[in-house]
A and B are shown apart, each in its own frame.
Chain A
Amino acid sequence: MAGQSSAASSRTGNNPFLRAVAALSTLAGWCSAAMIVAAVAITCQMIFVRFVLNQSTVWQTEAVIYLAIAATLVGLPYVQRLRGHVNVDLIPLALSPSARYYMFILTMTLSITMVAIVLFYGYEHWHLAYERNWKSDTIWAVRLWIPYLAIPVGFGLFLLQLIADLVAVLLKIDTPFGLEDV
């Protein structure tokens, strides 16, 4: 089947590394969900302040945007763990189990390299914002290293989860692309 996402999460077996990464990713997922709920609550509060109390709002819009960004980036490892990142596995399906195994290693190596690149430059970007004390161009003037922190944290955890997924297949704990051998 050419699917998009599978409901099943990646397997960890009894491997302590895989279990630790899974726990970290799940924690990241809770944080991400909490940030989305906080964004809902703050937006409702903003509407109440603006339309019921007839007062102007200062920090809410920016806070909500940064929360949504952080929820997305920090949520990446959890969604990876749940295999929720949509994909099209037409080529893997057409391959024999052994070719599929090597295809998985290739795509995972590419994905890991990609995420490592974003992590590296993301950390540099965050560090620059911290060192130079960049502030947002608004009345709230939030110190930008705070929202930018989501980039290295999110991609760092995402990198760990991708490595764990690769390790799980190499150790035969999980199957490539979550597909069962036919």
Chain B
Amino acid sequence: MDPILLGGIVAVVTILVLFSGVSVALGLLIVSTGFLLIFDGLRSLELIPEILFGKLDNFALLAIPMFIIMGSSIASTRAGADLYEALERWLTRVPGGLVISNLGACALFSAMSGSSPATCAAIGKMGIPEMRKRGYPDGVAAGSIAAGGTLGILIPPSVTMIVYGIATETSIGRLFLAGVIPGLLLVGLFMAWSLYSTWKTGDQQLLSSRVYTWKEKFEILPRVLPFLAIILGVLYAMYGGIATPSETAAVGALLCLLIAVVIYKLWNPKDLWVVLRDSTKESVMIMFIIAAAGVFSYMLSSLFITQSIAEWIGTLDVNRWVLMTFVMLFLLVAGFFLPPVAVILMAAPILLPIITTAGFDPIWFAVVLTINMEIGLISPPVGLNLYVINGIAPDISLKTILKGSLPFVACMVIAIVLLCFFPGIATWLPDVMMGEAV
């Protein structure tokens, strides 16, 4: 059978299986096994356990459970609330203090957790009720946190970037750096929209913040500074050539657990088990998808689908930006339905050869891909962050949260357009810090 046609059949079957309610990892295994059995025979199945094991046999993967422990140990404390409170106390002179503080806290929390739902939940639990209490429109309160939470997968450390780095054999350190400026750009755009929409309500009181005394400003610092020290320590260890991302993540995880125990008094074994249980749950889920996607990508390559699609696209006489538009539309649609990790692992083996042949930088592409995935996190039908917000504030309807999030989707689209015109937004920092990519 023609590999391109076979590729089409695989795509349709994969979509049907994944939408059937079966878990993503098992779905990928079922599809891979089925096609391997039909086209390569029974003997090809012998390789499945070996591929599953081999895909996990990678030291870089260790960064995933470590960064997840780091995030969930902080998320299980009051750290998120403290972060935004500290920012509010110190940003009193900045107009729209509270919404700005919340978005700033989302960005800072992202730098510690690497997970979008964790960021959303940690900041939203305190931030949304406080914003609503002070009269912010429900849409702005919910939308800003839903969107701010998505920064978790862009601002380093990001689990999504680690998965992309492993799937495409790209430097994780370089990917992390590439997310910094686009992350700040998004924070800026989110803040600008939030300020505008708050100003539009005509309630000038919302834009002015409460004045805090120096005592109030300083008394909150001891609870926040250790986390900021960890962020700086992680960055220093990673880029000072002291340790690899996995090693740095392990130290970060240990320190965050210690801080949670010492500062936030997380003594109770039951509370500690909750941190470990949540971390284990998320890590196992992601690592299993990685292993299963390894079998899926082996099947695609074994049936010459990956190679044929890349060759076929190469023969098409289309402008590379037209190609990129189609790639982004595909990612956007995939992101509406599937979690970022699954999209990256399934699409990377097919898309990367196409992207690099068309002359796009894989580091730049990682950032654009991640922002596309961020859009998926606040768009229906899956939109994980929307449901996290709905869980925190059940009296705000899903429709209001969605309406509040839409302008932030527009901000993300603007960021993607800016990145297309100025790729340096993503590539400048890694090039300066780590030298030009070879």
Contact = CB atoms under 8 A, between A and B. Distances in A.
Q: Do A and B bind each other?
A: yes
A107 B22 contact: yes
B22 A65 contact: no
A66 to B, nearest CB: 8
Nearest to A119: B49
Contacts of B381: 1-2, 90
B59 A64 contact: yes
Interface in B237-295: 242-243, 246-247, 250-251, 253-254, 273, 276-277, 279-285, 287-289, 291
Contact of A88 (B19, B243, B250, B276): B19
B30 A33 contact: no
A111 B280 contact: no
Q: Which of A64, A68, A75, A118 is most buried by chain B, counting CB atoms within 10 A of its CB?
A: A68
B49 A88 contact: no
B46 interface: yes
Contacts of B315: none
Given A33-B276, A39-B250, A91-B19, A110 B30 contact: yes
B18 A36 contact: no
B13 interface: no
Contact of B56 (A72, A89, A107, A110): A72
Q: Which of A39, A47, A114, A177 has the most CB of B within 10 A?
A: A114
B210 to A, nearest CB: 35
Contact of A87 (B23, B246, B283): B23
B213 interface: no
Contacts of B56: 65, 68-69, 72
Interface string B56-75: 11110110011001000000
Contacts of A114: 26, 29-30, 33
Interface string A106-147: 110011001101100110110000000000000000000001
The A contact surface, by secondary structure, is: helix
B65 to A, nearest CB: 5
Contacts of A4: 339, 382, 384
A70 to B, nearest CB: 9
Interface residues of B, number: 61
B33 A117 contact: yes
A85 B24 contact: yes
A75 B279 CA distance: 11
A41 B25 CA distance: 29
B19 A90 contact: yes
B247 A47 contact: yes
Contacts, number: 178
Contacts of B59: 61, 64-65
Interface string B40-58: 0000011011101100111
Interface of B is mostly: helix
Nearest to A72: B287
B387 interface: yes
Given A40-B69, A107-B22, A115-B26, A84 B247 contact: no
A86 B285 contact: yes
A12 interface: no
A5 interface: yes
Contacts of B277: 29, 33, 82
Contacts of A84: 281-282, 284-285
B382 A88 contact: yes
B24 A36 contact: no
Nearest to A155: B49
A102 to B, nearest CB: 12
B21 interface: yes
A79 interface: yes
B338 interface: yes
Interface in A21-54: 29, 32-33, 36-37, 39-41, 43-44, 46-47, 51
Given A40-B250, A84-B284, A125 B50 contact: yes
Given A43-B251, A147-B53, 15 more contacts: A4-B339, A39-B65, A44-B251, A47-B251, A65-B56, A65-B62, A68-B287, A72-B288, A79-B288, A89-B21, A92-B21, A111-B26, A114-B26, A117-B48, A121-B46
Interface of B: 16, 18-27, 29-30, 33, 45-46, 48-50, 52-53, 56-59, 61-62, 65-66, 69, 242-243, 246-247, 250-251, 253-254, 273, 276-277, 279-285, 287-289, 291, 337-339, 342, 380-382, 384, 387
18 contacts: A4-B339, A4-B384, A32-B284, A33-B273, A40-B253, A43-B247, A43-B251, A44-B250, A69-B53, A72-B287, A85-B25, A86-B23, A86-B285, A90-B337, A103-B21, A111-B30, A117-B48, A147-B53
